[in-house]
Amino acid sequence: MTITQPDLSVFETLESEVRSYCRGWPVVFDRAQGSHMHDEDGRRYLDFFAGAGSLNYGHNNPVLKRALIDYLLRDGVTHGLDMSTVAKRSFLRTFQDLVLRPRDLPYKVMFPGPTGTNAVESALKLARKVKGREAIVSFTNAFHGMSLGSLAVTGNAFKRAGAGIPLVHGTPMPFDNYFDGQVPDFLWFERLLEDQGSGLNKPAAVIVETVQGEGGINVARPEWLRALAALCERQDMLLIVDDIQMGCGRTGAFFSFEEAGITPDIVTVSKSISGYGMPMSLCLFKPELDVWEPGEHNGTFRGNNPAFVTATAALETYWADGAAMEKQTRTRGEQVEQGLVSITEENLADVREYRGRGLVWGLEFHDKGRAERIARRAFELGLLIETSGPEGEVVKLLPALTVTPEELDEGLRVLARAVRETV
């Protein structure tokens, strides 16, 4: 693919140096539909990034777009703080009927600010309020957001350094398989909890991702998650599952923790809950934890009513028969896995490991700089993929759940070519 130099001058002169994704994809995007994006010159790119997991149902999904347009054309409320609106009522009823009740989940629904880190901040505040303790335990290579509370339970040193102040009241523990199976699960954690001389303050909660997306596509085993839930119950700690990127069907089931058969005390949801890429987040928690005073945690943009509209349409379209959606995602995931098996067999000396669940996969190389070069070459060939891991050492595949088998085959062929042509 020949890419002419676009006019990026206004971005380079006016926009902050903090911008990141645009550096890897130096074009000006103009249109998007389904699993494809188009730049201003009309070039097409197959999207295996999906808005960092915010577009599980693809770009400008026609069903969701129609619902949104109809709502706007009738002058439906767009901004409603936490006022009661028709759009919010419809979403809550649909979420209860199609998501919570079929899974026998008792959760109350809280609308914090519209981003994932807002949901995490509210979860941490609630856990501390309920338990009357400050400490939170997180895990190595975790990522929970960029605000101060979320950064305190995030592992990445580069992102943590951006805070500019000490990040306190968070303690990291080893994630599943951190010691390559050489150390029994939670040995260190339990020893610290039981030793009065350990220096670990009694935690209010433990926060965990079932699959660490930004951390390198590290997949927790169901038995490890069950053991963690049991440990939290024994030690009077709340279990928070951060399902911001891995929820809404990304791993197959609507919630990523369903496979493990656990019921977390608190769950954070964002990214694809709106279905259309619009800002929206939820903090879900067991009813007995609902100890908030009115207005104790609030925010101006909790009431993004257009997001409620598209979220409702997404649930009605894709989760009225959740088994069908889950089966499709698992089938597409098996297709991706077979593609990664072929790439691994072809490059046996170079590939360290492939891993994933559902439609989130990672390909790690011994050469830690290889992933970035592969992503750059894939872009030149018309495929959008990102890297993850503490040193960007993992090629991350995050296609829309609505991707077709043919689109997956195309993307995997481009990825295989990019691997072959990159040293």
Instruction: Tell me if 208 sits within 8 A of 217, measured CB to CB.
Output: no
Name the residue type at position 161. Answer: A
Tokens of 374: 């592969």
DSSP tag of 17? T
Q: How far is CA 355 from the centre of its chain?
A: 16
Strand pairing category for 136-139 and 205-208: parallel
The helix/strand/coil state of 357 is strand
Averaged confidence pLDDT in the chain: 96
DSSP 265: S
Q: Count other C-beta atoms under 10 Å from residue 167's C-beta.
A: 16
- What's the full length of the chain, in residues? 423
Question: Maximum distance among all alpha carbons in the chain?
Answer: 65
Q: What is the pLDDT of residues 301-353, one digit of tens each?
A: 998 999 999 999 999 999 999 899 999 999 999 999 999 999 999 998 899 99
Buried b (16+ CB within 10 A) or exposed e, 192-205: bbeeeeeebeebbb
Q: Note the pLDDT of residue 48.
A: 98
pTM across the whole model: 0.97
Tokens of 101: 């009740």
Residue 349: what pLDDT?
Answer: 87
pLDDT digit string, tens, across residues 73-111: 999 999 999 999 999 999 999 999 999 999 999 999 999
Q: Using the 8-state DSSP alphabet, how is residue 293 labeled?
A: P
The number of helices, as runs of H, and strands, as runs of E, in the chain is 14, 17
Residue 155 DSSP class: -
pLDDT band (50, 70, 90) for residue 210: very high
| Torsion angles phi and psi, residue 374, rounded to 5 | -65, -45
* pLDDT tier, 407 (very low <50, low <70, confident <90, very high otherwise): very high
Which pLDDT belongs to residue 322? 81
CA distances from 327 to 101, 157, 254, 319 (A): 20, 37, 11, 12
pLDDT at 176 > cutoff 70: yes
254-268 tens-digit pLDDT: 999 999 999 999 999
CA 367 to chain centre: 26
The CB-side HSE value for 324 (13 A sphere, CA atoms) comes to 8
